[in-house]
């Protein structure tokens, strides 16, 4: 289906390369700090907006624990502290547990994200989905944007875009992910940009 790739090219011409918030998430070369912030942000942004996540990052920076290792150490000692710092993102008790479990998993099993991401995509995805509170959208966001793995992320903006453009009348996560991946070059950079552009398009016209 050439239409999907043509839509990607159309959005790229319309909006240009992703900017502002998306600049860090979509840039080709990411620092260790970038990758950790993106992975944490993918969990924190569940059921909230990015402005609230930024408030959480400010809290974590002030507390000098904005890293996977330091969040793990802080949560192991006092989960209530994490709850307090994460509060601006909403659902702070649930998210404090999710963030801690994610950091615990990485530190105790791999020590850092780089070693975790050195595995194949299938293994990484299965292990992330085994962490309580991390579903397909969050796992795939971590893999694509922090890990640079070629896996397409599906969210509500994508479903609305698919419906508007009459790409499909099926909207399940797995079906749409497979559809996009089969009809785009297997390139994490394209997947990153296209996902960001779909959200920008949705926000601009209120999909």
- Output the six-digit token pair for 27: 């840039």
Q: What is the chain's mean pLDDT, rounded? A: 96
Instruction: Give the residue among 50, 3, 6, 11 at the shortest CA–CA distance from 195.
Output: 11
Identify the weakest region by mean pLDDT among 13-22, 81-90, 131-140, 189-198.
13-22
Average confidence (pLDDT) over 190-203 = 96
Q: What is the pLDDT of residue 20?
A: 84
Distances (CA, A) of 13 to 74, 131, 159, 182, 207: 45, 38, 21, 22, 19
Q: Tens digits of per-residue pLDDT, 28-82?
A: 999 999 999 999 999 999 999 999 999 999 999 999 999 999 999 999 999 999 9
Average confidence (pLDDT) over 188-206 = 94
Q: Tens digits of per-residue pLDDT, 148-166?
A: 999 999 999 999 999 999 9
Q: Tens digits of per-residue pLDDT, 123-133?
A: 999 999 999 99
Q: 206: pLDDT confidence band, cut at 50, 70 and 90?
A: low
Q: What is the pLDDT of residue 205?
A: 82
Percent of the chain with pLDDT over 90: 94
- Output the six-digit token pair for 87: 């509060």
Q: What is the pLDDT of residue 186?
A: 97
Q: What is the pLDDT of residue 1?
A: 63
- Output the six-digit token pair for 79: 């989960």
Cβ(147)–Cβ(118) below 8 Å? no
Q: How far apart are CA 113 and CA 119, in angstroms?
A: 10
């Amino acid at each position: 289906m050439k239409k999907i790739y043509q839509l990607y090219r159309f959005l790229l011409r319309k909006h240009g390369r992703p900017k502002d918030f998306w600049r860090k998430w979509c840039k080709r070369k990411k620092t260790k700090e970038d990758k950790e912030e993106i992975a944490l942000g993918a969990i924190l942004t569940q059921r909230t907006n990015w402005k609230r996540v930024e408030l959480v990052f400010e809290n974590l920076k002030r507390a000098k624990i904005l890293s996977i290792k330091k969040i793990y150490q802080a949560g192991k000692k006092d989960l209530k502290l994490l709850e307090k710092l994460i509060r601006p993102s909403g659902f702070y008790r649930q998210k404090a547990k999710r963030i801690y479990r994610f950091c615990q998993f990485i530190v105790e099993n791999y020590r850092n994200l780089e070693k975790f991401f050195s595995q194949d995509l299938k293994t990484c995805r299965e292990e992330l989905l085994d962490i309580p509170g991390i579903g397909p959208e969050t796992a795939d966001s971590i893999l694509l944007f922090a890990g640079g793995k070629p896996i397409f992320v599906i969210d509500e903006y994508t479903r609305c875009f698919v419906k508007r453009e009459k790409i499909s009348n099926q909207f399940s996560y797995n079906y749409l992910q497979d559809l996009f991946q089969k009809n785009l070059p297997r390139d994490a950079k394209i997947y990153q940009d296209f996902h960001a552009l779909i959200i920008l398009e949705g926000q601009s016209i209120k999909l």
